[in-house]
Amino acid sequence: MAQSLCKIYLHVVFHVKTTSPIVKDEHLEQLHNYIGALVNTTGCQVLCVGGTGNHIHALMLFSRTETIAHVVEEMKRNSSRWIKTISSEYEKFAWQGGYGVFSVSQSQVDTVVNYIKNQKEHHKKQSFRDEYLEFLRLYKIEYDERYVLSD
């Protein structure tokens, strides 16, 4: 029997809808843990989940049998449902439709984990929009700015 060998690290980034309440600091750790558990249920292995009240970063070891669209759908759909159950202030909570997914080389995994863990400090200096556009430029992803971070 042939063996399929695969080790792909992915950095997933997504943002709340502009009409959505942001996640309060007191709920962020719970949300990050919940999203990490969702990643693991897809067969991928979560390495780190972080972000601020308006966006998520997740680094995972990607499963060779999954699709990116399915993993992100599971993360967003189920975390959106879940957060509505922890407080009535989130009854109108929703993630934006889009997302970014970026490959990470083995040599950069620790750097990305540290980056994700330090999001609060990072965003004292740079907005999420600027951060996201920087990723798109760095990875040479063509985009129409009218649709970046739009609901």
pLDDT in tens, 63-116: 999 999 999 999 999 999 999 999 999 999 999 999 999 999 999 999 999 999
How much is the pTM? Answer: 0.92
List the chain domain ranges.
8-138
CA gap 18, 15 in Å, rounded: 9
Confirm if 56 and 14 have CB atoms less than 8 A apart: yes
The CATH code for residues 8-138 is 3.30.70.1290
- Band (121; pLDDT cuts 50, 70, 90): very high
